[in-house]
Amino acid sequence: MEKIFFGITRIKSDKEYDLLKSHIKSLIEEATNKGYLSEQGADNEFTREISRLGKIGALYETEVLHLPKRAVNPLVTAIENEIRTRGLTQTKAAELIGVNEPTFLI
């Protein structure tokens, strides 16, 4: 897996944003071909990197492209805060709550 954006927490231009989207697409394709996404809720280097890059892209979309953020729900916020406080993985949190992991994304 090539980590083009290793150590980067923000992007600063539309060109970087386009490269980021392309890189995420190629990571998803590579992970799919190698079977890293065949299990629901898989936790591996691909899923973690795709998630990290998705958050960087979302930040750019909100701050620069001014795309709307998701609606803030107090219950969801409280659950997300508790998950972070307890240091739970998304997989473990979904298991404890009794939902499929894709039901919520942190």
DSSP 50-106: HHHHHHHHHHHHHHTS-PPPPPP-HHHHHHHHHHHHHT--HHHHHHHHTS-GGG---
In the prediction, which pLDDT does 21 show? 93
Residue with tokens 């892209």: 57
DSSP 8-state secondary structure symbol assigned to residue 13: S
Instruction: Taking each helix axis as running N to C, give the angle between helix 90-97 and helix 74-86, from 0 to 180 degrees, rounded to the nearest 10.
Output: 120
What's the confidence (pLDDT) of residue 20?
94
Q: pTM for the complete prediction?
A: 0.62
Residue 62 backbone class (left: φ over 0; alpha: ψ -120 to 50; beta: rest): alpha
Q: What is the pLDDT along the chain (106 residues), one digit of tens a residue?
A: 888 888 888 999 999 999 999 999 999 999 999 999 887 778 899 998 998 999 999 889 888 887 776 666 777 778 777 887 888 887 788 788 777 766 555 5
